[in-house]
Amino acid sequence: MNLTKKLAYKLLIVLMTTTVLVSCNKTRDYKDSSRATGWKLNSKEGGPQKNSKYSEQETGPGLVFVEGGTFTMGKVQDDPMHDWNNSPNQQHVQSFYMDETEVTNFMYMQYLDWIKEVFPPSQEEYRKIYEGALPDTLVWRNRLGYNEVMTNNYLRHPAYAEYPVVGVSWIQAVEFGNWRTDRVNEKILEDEGITARNSRYDVKVGETFSTETYLNAPTQTYGGNDSITRGGKKSQSIAKKSKDSTNLFIQRKDGLLMPSYRLPTEAEWEYAALGLVSLRSYNVYRGRKKYPWDGQYTRSGSRRSRGDQLANFKQGDGDYGGIAGWSDDGADITAEIKSYEPNDYGLYDMAGNVAEWVADVYRPIVDDEFNDFNYYRGNVYTKNAIDKDGKVKIVSVDSIVYDTLSNGKVVARDLPGEILQVPVDEQETYLRTQFSKSDNRDYRDGDKRSTRYYQSFGEDSEEELDEGERMYNSPKHTVASKYQDSIASESGLDRQYDKSSNRTTLVNNEVRVYKGGSWRDRDYWLDPAQRRYFPQDMATDYIGFRCAMSRVGSKSQKGKRARN
């Protein structure tokens, strides 16, 4: 046998051996089966069901995508006061979405019109709901200024429709986000043929839609009106083909409904305002930013707009907009949205126009030693209230809970149709390492453990401190009803001012951070890292807000390409 034949023979032996081994080790194709059990996915007979059509989260109305990353929070360019209000610290923010512009008067008026229609203020049991949502138009008044034209017209006149809403407290901004979440998801269900068409235009009192109620107790949505919740063409088609009632409702696993619209955290707002993508070079930032735009100045350096102001702010004593015929920033009070160029994320007015509420409770320092990922101070954990039958408790017309705020205003804590929320208890906190109580607003800063009077042994850590031992001894005004009725008229409220002369701070758990400069501020406050605070139940003529939304899934959007 020559050499060629020997090589061919050996090759044949190897090939036959490989074929036998492969055939003996044959594996099943689990492409369309569960990797956990091998069961077929999405079988008509039952078994595991997977949403194979889901690609990624859609961008909600009014939002733009902000890809998360690492940045130095609190890096202010100017700090002449050295007020221990900002210490640079490295933080990482997850990807999220943010409103392209500030919430406008027209957007907020849609909210008010909806409340007026669903909870008519002409009916006594609903009057406080509408009044609690109304912006405070009296914020425009000044003892030595004539501003009645704004007091009477700014919120409702069409000339100001696309101007940012002001006179809104932090609490009202949060409630607007909750309302917006429900209206967006309500339309999604209708567009998908799940709920009855145009049902959102014919909502009766008490028959409201709540996203969380729909996900947790869908049969109680719209006041239990089955003709609405199952009135869509798709729902009716499913009902004819399937006996499984769970398929008649959209669930969280379907990925159809949007996460909540909410206020951005301070870290998110500052990260988005800086727009550091323009400074990115491979995996580092080349340089710093003082404002949301590039450069160290407030005036444009481009040839077409050279000398124009890049934001709406106060340029000097008595100078809110420049001389007549040549307006430096085009506005004397607030300006119409999109009057100035957006930053590198496509966000408008992240400096100037109005300052903006963020979600955080204010503290002088950011505790980056404890957390440097999605930093947020203000967590108050709650859970759905469960009745004796094991079902979630839905707020009814007769069970609305009202809160009297420190300024005497009365607001509804929950609206009819929503799930009643209660603080988490030992069932959720026992032997848990992440949290031990419901309210964590003063964790490691302001509670008893944070003071020099705390002793770790032989003393109850939750014991009430004496007035002089508190870290934050802010004034405590009291507002109480003179009558038994918890929602008595404002004339029936007994208002008592704090008369103590020993107060040393205004900081407490009810003051919230607001960011960015406004039409009333000098350019010092345009730096995104600057931070101030204001009581959460009060409003001004220079603080507005915009909403954010968390991103679920991947950090970046599909189709991303390298920037360098």
Each residue's pLDDT expressed in tens, for the chain with a length of 564 residues: 566 666 667 666 766 665 555 555 555 656 788 888 889 888 878 888 888 788 889 999 999 999 999 999 998 887 777 777 888 999 999 999 999 999 999 999 999 999 999 999 998 888 999 999 999 999 999 999 999 999 999 999 999 999 999 999 999 999 999 999 999 999 999 999 999 998 888 887 778 899 999 999 999 999 888 889 888 888 877 776 665 556 779 999 999 999 999 999 999 999 999 998 877 777 777 777 889 998 888 888 887 778 788 899 999 999 998 888 877 888 999 999 999 999 999 999 999 999 999 999 999 989 999 999 999 999 999 999 999 989 999 998 888 888 888 888 888 888 899 999 999 999 999 999 999 999 999 898 877 777 777 765 544 455 566 766 777 888 888 887 655 454 445 556 788 888 888 888 899 999 999 999 999 999 999 999 999 999 999 999 999 999 999 999 999 987 666 555
The verdict on 326 and 452 lying in the same domain is no
Res 17: pLDDT? 64
Task: Report the distance separating Cα 269 and Cα 285, nearest Å.
Answer: 19
The verdict on 298 and 345 lying in the same domain is yes
Res 1: pLDDT? 54
Task: Report the distance separating Cα 50 and Cα 52, nearest Å.
Answer: 6
The verdict on 524 and 454 lying in the same domain is no
Res 401: pLDDT? 86
Q: Which of 233, 193, 229, 153 is nearest to 417 (CA)?
A: 229
Give the SS3 label for residue 394.
strand
Q: Is residue 133 part of a domain?
A: yes
The verdict on 158 and 69 lying in the same domain is yes
Res 144: pLDDT? 96
**DSSP, residue by residue, 316-380:** BTTBSSEETTEESSS-SS---TTSS---TTS---SSSSSEEEEEEEP-SS--TTT--BS--S--B
Q: Is residue 76 part of a domain?
A: yes
The verdict on 318 and 450 lying in the same domain is no
Q: Is residue 104 part of a domain?
A: yes
Are the C-beta atoms of residues 522 and 313 closer than 8 Å to each other? yes
Tell me the CA distances in angstroms from 15 to 4, 19, 338, 453, one per residue in order: 17, 6, 71, 81
Specify the pTM: 0.90
Tell me the CA distances in angstroms from 528 to 72, 77, 168, 524, 536, one per residue in order: 12, 10, 21, 10, 21
Res 531: pLDDT? 94
Last residue of a domain, one of 418, 449, 472: 472
- Provide the token pair at 385: 């209230």
Count of other CB atoms within 10 angstroms of residue 454: 14
Q: Is residue 67 part of a domain?
A: yes
Q: Is residue 274 part of a domain?
A: yes
Place of tokens 């108050």: 380
Task: Report the distance separating Cα 453 and Cα 504, nearest Å.
Answer: 18
Last residue of a domain, one of 415, 448, 472: 472
The verdict on 355 and 307 lying in the same domain is yes
* Residue 123: domain span: 56-191+256-380+511-556
Res 457: pLDDT? 58
The verdict on 376 and 458 lying in the same domain is no
For residue 113, the domain's CATH number is 3.90.1580.10
The verdict on 270 and 338 lying in the same domain is yes
- How many domains are there within the chain? 2
Q: Is residue 151 part of a domain?
A: yes
In residues, how long is the chain? Answer: 564
Q: Which of 553, 543, 253, 214 is nearest to 392 (CA)?
A: 214
Res 375: pLDDT? 97
Are the C-beta atoms of residues 374 and 94 closer than 8 Å to each other? yes
Q: Is residue 427 part of a domain?
A: no
Task: Report the distance separating Cα 421 and Cα 392, nearest Å.
Answer: 10
Phi-psi region of 379 (alpha: psi -120 to 50; beta: other; left: phi over 0): beta
The verdict on 183 and 102 lying in the same domain is yes
Last residue of a domain, one of 449, 472, 495: 472
Res 459: pLDDT? 45
List Cβ neighbours of 123 (8 Å cut-off, separation of 6 or more).
Answer: 205
The verdict on 158 and 97 lying in the same domain is yes
Q: Is residue 413 part of a domain?
A: no
Kindly list the strands in the beta sheet with 548-550, ordered across the sheet, starting from the edge strand earlier in the chain.
63-66, 96-99, 548-550
Give the SS3 label for residue 183.
helix
Res 306: pLDDT? 81
The verdict on 447 and 351 lying in the same domain is no
Q: Which of 356, 352, 327 is nearest to 338 (CA)?
A: 352
Task: Report the distance separating Cα 159 and Cα 549, nearest Å.
Answer: 29
- Provide the token pair at 319: 């100078």
Task: Report the distance separating Cα 320 and Cα 324, nearest Å.
Answer: 11
CA atoms within 13 Å, Cβ hemisphere of 458: 1
- Provide the token pair at 209: 């839609």
Give the dihedral sign, CA 60/64/65/66: negative
φ, ψ of residue 34 to 5 degrees: the values are -70, 130
Quote the Cα angle for 305-310-314, to 5°: 125
Helices (H) and strands (E) in the chain, counts: 10, 19
